[in-house]
Structure 1
Amino acid sequence: MSERDPLVWREPVQDAWIDYNGHLSEPYYVLVFGHGTDNVMDAVGIGPDYRAERDASLYTVEAHVRYLDEVSAGADLEVRSTVIGASGKLLWIWHELWVEDRLRATEEVLGVHVVGGSSAPFPDAVAERARSLLVAPPEEASGRIRPIGVASG
Structure 2
Amino acid sequence: MTSSTLSKNNAAQHLAAPFLTTVMQIEPQWIDYNGHLNMAYYNVLFDRGIDQMWLELGIGPQYMKERNGSTFTAEAHVRYLREVHLGDPVQVSVYLVAADEKRIHTFEELRHATEGWISATSENMTLHVDMNARKTAPFPPDIAARIREVAAAHAAVPRPDGIGRRIAMPVK
Shift of 1:47: 1.8
1:94 is matched by which residue type in structure 2? F
1:108 aligns with 2:123: yes
1:31 aligns with 2:44: yes
Shift of 1:41: 1.1
2:82 is matched by which residue type in structure 1? D
Decide whether the 8 Å contact of 1:7 with 1:39 is kept in 2: no
Runs of 4+ aligned residues of structure 1 deviating over 4 Å after TM superposition are none
Shift of 1:37: 1.1
Q: Which residue of 2 aligns with 1:91?
A: 104
1:97-144 CA-to-partner distances (Å, cap 9, x unmatched) read 00121111100111000012111000111111111111234452128x
Q: Counterpart of 2:111 in 1: which secondary structure?
A: strand
Q: Which residue of 1 aligns with 2:63?
A: 50
1:6 aligns with 2:28: no
Higher helix share: 2
Counterpart-to-counterpart distance in 2, 1:123 and 1:55: 11
Counterpart-to-counterpart distance in 1, 2:88 and 2:56: 26
Counterpart mapping for 1:135-150 below 5 A: 135-136=154-155, 137-142=159-164
1:43 is matched by which residue type in structure 2? E
**Superposition TM-score, scaled by structure 2 size:** 0.77
Higher strand share: 1
1:6 is matched by which residue type in structure 2? P
Indicate the structure (1 or 2) with the bigger Cα radius of gyration.
2
Q: Counterpart of 1:37 in 2: which secondary structure?
A: helix
Ranges in structure 2 where 5+ consecutive residues have no aligned partner: 1-14, 166-172
2:17 is matched by which residue type in structure 1? D
Q: Which residue of 2 aligns with 1:127?
A: 144
Counterpart-to-counterpart distance in 1, 2:48 and 2:79: 17
| Residues paired across the two proteins, number | 141
Q: Tell me the percent identity.
A: 38
Q: Which residue of 2 aligns with 1:60?
A: 73
Ranges in structure 1 where 5+ consecutive residues have no aligned partner: 144-153
Counterpart-to-counterpart distance in 2, 1:93 and 1:39: 13
Decide whether the 8 Å contact of 1:43 with 1:129 is kept in 2: no
Counterpart-to-counterpart distance in 2, 1:139 and 1:102: 13
Shift of 1:39: 1.4
Q: Counterpart of 2:139 in 1: which secondary structure?
A: coil
